[in-house]
Amino acid sequence: MTTNYAPKIAAQLQVRVEQVAATIKLLDDGNTIPFIARYRKEATGTLDEEQLRQISALLEQWQNLDKRRETVLASVESQGLLTPELQAQFMAAETMTDLEDLYQPYKPKRRTRASMAREKGLTLLAEAILSQNRTKISLEQLVAEFINEQVPTNEEAWAGARDIVAETMSDHPNVRRVTREKALKFGKLTCGKIEAAEDPKRVYETYYDFEFRAETIRPHQILALNRGEEEKVLRVAVQVMEQDWRRAVEDNFRPDPRSPLAEQLKLAIDDGAERLLLPTIERDVRRTLTEKAEAHAIGVFGANLRGLLSQPPLAGHTVLGLDPGFRTGCKVAVIDPTGKLLDTATIYPHAPQNHWAEALKTLHVLISRHKITLIAIGNGTASRETEQLAAELTRQLPTKYLIVNEAGASVYSASKLAKAELPDLDVSIRGAVSIGRRVQDPLAELVKIDPQSIGVGMYQHDVDQKQLASALDGVVESVVNYVGVDVNTASPALLTHVSGIGPKLAERLVAYRDEHGPFRTREAVKKVSGLGPKAFEQAAGFLRIRGGNNPLDASAIHPESYWVAEAVMRRAKITLDMPIAEREATLKELQAKQPLPKLAAELHTDTPTLTDIFSQLIRPGRDPREDLAAPLLRSDVLSMSDLVTGMKLHGTVRNVIDFGAFVDIGVKQDGLLHRSQVPFGTVLHVGEVLEVEILKVETERGRISLGWVKP
């Protein structure tokens, strides 16, 4: 089935049809989304990466719908029931739900009460009930011809016929559609605690007596209800008002008071609604709300992961990574500014050993020996106790510390990649190495970890894991290519996410680099086995070669456009070794004399490409993460007892959730900046540094409420 999806997708996204058509063609030709977004702007009308991913997702949805449509049509045709009118209805269905509603009456079913009644020959009696004829014939006369050995009594005949009517009514596409729409708008989700259930920490106390309109319930509430139900603490139900479902039914199956069969239809409707229709609608409503909640949660995960990966690197520091612990001690790793491991140790400052003085001495020696300028402390167990240790050191030595999100460090420590990178190191020490490297370059280190293990969001294990993995992989791919990768220093884990590369080529790139030395040009990567013209086209613009033979190889300008960049430099009479300010002034002067669209036409290129080239010629290969605020470095520690209402502090956003954001303000417990405190339209990001005000401190409950301080 060949279908032109572009008009439908364009209408959904409110973009031009030709933009969508161009995107679909580029995707079909094997181009990646980062490549299309960066280097095919003219073709797509400068659609951004998010729009391209939406087009890709909708394209897959429409293709899946058409595959299912083919299956449905084949099934109905095999039953000999496919009429031209019915086929037209199937072809007009534009959602999977609409298609399944139409197919429901024809879907092969397991044995039901209705199918058994049909086997007993009661179909015509059911049709009589449905027709609501105003006949003068009595009910006894109507049912008499259906009495036989299988149906010995009148009541059994009527009951069987009503079963057929009930199923017909509940399978009717319009009845299902309208009832579902009403339920999603006006239905109520009710919830209560199962009497015998145990909830010792009262995790679900909010939902012990809970009622909410389906239309207004929030995504995190849906996921909480689902989890409570899964853990057999809560009982959840959907209530659909009778007036809503009955109106939907009677618009299609209306009892006629003048028909002797009116009462039979009423009985069938009541039975069908309670036994078949409403349970189906309840499942549909729960599924729809869950899908929306999961999509929202996955979006939050993606945004938080993007913020975490995009945090600016703290280059030039020799870092002491501390993986805190009580009984097993704190693992220590010293990392030089290139990420090389210099030294390791294990200290036992906390209970049960309590070797505080010895731990201080060990760290003092390491800091002095290696000229350590920064201490990175993992935020897990014993983190804040270990922070006290670091704060004591910063009073004696010229170093600072910060708390690092250590999520996934243990997963990395036991991975094949960690074993390959640090083969002679104990698993427990590898976590400290990872914590230290996360400060130096969060992106380069975090790509080594399955994004699902990083844990930035809520209800991570309650959403569709395949969809979550796909979305988070897309975020990693997006950030890696947005930042660019130094092909001569990047790990296989980082290179894997470069457009057009993948795991196998990443390994081959590193192996070739190890054998032949650093790549001197982008063209040289073509010598790597398996890296053909298409892979080179997709990857080249995202690979950086610093200090190579061609200065343009360090920029985000694609090799296919070098001739344009060189033509611009000749016209502007600039070189890439000129001071930045001088280059920028000269290029602005050229642009003032000759607007970019006109210059692009003269150079036989397009305006979006030329715009990007101008930007790159000013600052070739500039790391976009440099524009973000650097992480907060601390030299002293606070406790909750130090906090007073009205105090203003700077903090780092650790997690953004539906009802606000958790902010690390330097005490053991992150504070909650509730969404009601955040100005309308403000979007917070993980890693963002904010000034906040202490609104309330609940020491016993370990809760800190924060307010917004206007920048």
- Give per-residue pLDDT as tens, 488-501: 999 999 999 999 99
CB 36 within 8 A of CB 52: yes
Query: CA nearest 48: which of 5, 4, 11, 15?
Result: 15
Query: pLDDT digit string (tens) for 641-653?
Result: 888 899 998 888 9
Structure tokens at 216: 């207004």
Query: pLDDT digit string (tens) for 363-408?
Result: 999 999 999 999 999 988 899 889 999 999 998 898 999 988 888 8
CB 160 within 8 A of CB 117: yes
Query: CA–CA distance from 393 to each of 158, 311, 501 (Å)?
Result: 87, 26, 44
Query: pLDDT digit string (tens) for 122-145?
Result: 999 999 999 999 988 889 999 999
CA 35 distance to own-chain centroid: 21
Q: Which domains does the chain have, with CATH numbers?
A: 6-106 (1.10.10.650), 113-187+240-297 (no CATH), 319-484 (3.30.420.140), 510-627 (1.10.150.310), 640-708 (2.40.50.140)
Only one residue has tokens 């030395």, namely 517
Give the pLDDT confidence score for residue 1 in this predicted structure.
44
pLDDT at 479 over 90: yes
Total residues belonging to the chain: 711
Sheet of strand 341-347, all strands in order from the earlier edge strand to the far edge: 341-347, 330-335, 319-323, 374-378, 400-404
Query: CA nearest 308: which of 446, 194, 413, 432?
Result: 446
pTM: 0.87
Sheet of strand 209-213, all strands in order from the earlier edge strand to the far edge: 209-213, 188-193, 234-239
102-125 as b/e: b if 16+ CB within 10 A: bbbebeeeeeebbeebbebebbeb
Indicate the pLDDT class of residue 48, thresholds 50, 70 and 90: very high
CB 250 within 8 A of CB 485: no
| Residue of 699 and 545 predicted with greater confidence | 545
Give the pLDDT confidence score for residue 654 in this predicted structure.
87
State the pairing for strand pair 671-674/703-708: parallel
Give the pLDDT confidence score for residue 667 in this predicted structure.
83
Indicate the pLDDT class of residue 422, thresholds 50, 70 and 90: very high
Integer distance in angstroms from the first to the last C-alpha of the chain? 56
In whole angstroms, give the CA distance from residue 606 to residue 609: 6
**DSSP-assigned letter for residue 670:** P
Q: Three-state SS for 543?
A: strand
CB 106 within 8 A of CB 81: yes
Only one residue has tokens 């006109």, namely 598
In whole angstroms, give the CA distance from residue 163 to residue 170: 11
Percentage of the chain surpassing pLDDT 70? 99
pLDDT at 119 over 90: yes
Structure tokens at 217: 């319930």
State the pairing for strand pair 485-486/543-544: parallel
Give the pLDDT confidence score for residue 7 in this predicted structure.
96
Give the pLDDT confidence score for residue 575 in this predicted structure.
93
Mean pLDDT computed over 88-115:
95
User: Across-strand partners of 91?
Assistant: none
In whole angstroms, give the CA distance from residue 596 to residue 608: 9
Report the amino acid identity of residue 49: E
Query: CA nearest 287: which of 346, 230, 211, 226?
Result: 226
The backbone torsions φ and ψ at residue 693, rounded to the nearest 5 degrees and listed phi first, read -120, 140
Query: CA nearest 363: which of 324, 332, 395, 336?
Result: 332
289-326 as b/e: b if 16+ CB within 10 A: bbeebbebbbebbbbbbbbbbbbbbbeebbbbbbbbbb
Query: pLDDT digit string (tens) for 137-194?
Result: 889 999 999 999 999 999 999 999 999 999 999 999 999 999 999 999 999 999 999 9
In whole angstroms, give the CA distance from residue 456 to residue 459: 10
In whole angstroms, give the CA distance from residue 237 to residue 260: 37
* SS3 of the chain: helix, strand, coil, percent, to 5: 55, 10, 35
Query: CA nearest 432: which of 346, 498, 326?
Result: 346
Give the pLDDT confidence score for residue 408 in this predicted structure.
84
CB 539 within 8 A of CB 501: yes
Q: Please name the residues in contact with 156: beta carbons below 8 A apart, sequence gap of 6 or more.
A: none
| Mean of all residue pLDDT scores within the chain | 93
Mean pLDDT computed over 343-348:
97
Helix H, strand E, coil C: the string for 198-264 is CCCCCCCHHHCEEEEECCCCCHHHHHHHHHHHHCCCEEEEEECCHHHHHHHHHCCCCCCCCCCCHHH
In whole angstroms, give the CA distance from residue 688 to residue 655: 10
DSSP string, 375-404: EEEESSTTHHHHHHHHHHHHTTSS-EEEEE
